[in-house]
Structure 1
Amino acid sequence: MSTGGLPLYEAALDDVPPRVLYELLKLRVDVFVVEQECAYPELDGRDLEPDALLLWAQDAAGRVAGTLRLLRDADGTARIGRVATAREARGRGVAADLMARALELAGDVEVVLGAQAHLEHWYGRFGFAVDGPRYDEDGIAHVPMRRPVPGA
């Protein structure tokens, strides 16, 4: 699938080509651990869950330009996380394309996420609303957000 110019892909962890998986994980570490200086276990085990999907966009050279993760929580909600865009691809709509695709794949269920507070309005574009008080995660203000079941 391609929207906004870059092809989008999705796969369970076991089906991601090894070099692509390496790039996905490196991008997440580069953005969250190095750039944002977060000290948390980036590889938290949830990528291994049977229903977990990794989504990514690749540029013309085949490099991963952005990624996110779509999970299913025990209560049936979908959870989007690990939304990251390579520095050189920012501002080009890569994350928006990935979000739109993740919401398509989530289907007709509630979708939740923990947004960095400064991105609250950006996630609002996709129908998310704040669903609780702000909290601190590794020195970065976050807000829980929820998108209700479409049409409910």
Structure 2
Amino acid sequence: MKVLAVDPAIRNTGYAIIEGDQHKQFAIDYGVIRIPQKLPQSKALAAVRTGLKNLIQQYEPEVVAVEGIIYVQSMRTAISMGAARAATLIAAADAGLEIYEYAPKKIKQAVVGNGNAGKDQVAFMVRALLGLNETPAHDAADALAIALAHLAAQDPLKASILQMKNI
């Protein structure tokens, strides 16, 4: 299975393309779609959508896995993250792809074994699990972790732990 995983944000959207199953996975591509601060929010959202659309066209994933809504203390941050998530969902829906979402704690639990793991721990484990030569940037590492969590969810023994949602 080929998965496009996305850690949505308006300025730094992490993405990962991983192929494999619950037993063996390899990273095809990963990185961060970086949007300049000077770009207005509406254009930044369009750029996120276009960047993801281009990845979908290039790699032809079978599904998209996205980090679910997280709780933040700032209303402004919550609105911004929700808008980036919407841009992600629209890009995937436009391509006719199935979309799955995973709670941040469940992703960390699947990859690190601890739902409260820090970003450095997630990046370290992603690097180790995928045999990467470098530690990915945090946003890319988060996307890689989302993809790994999705593939783990395909294992009937782990699926109930992750409680994936098809949206």
In the superposition, the TM-score normalised over structure 1's length comes to 0.33
Instruction: Looking at secondary structure, tell me which structure has more helix per residue.
Output: 2
Higher strand share: 1
TM (norm. structure 2) is 0.31
- Structure with more relative contact order (C-alpha pairs < 8 Å, separation 6 or more): 2
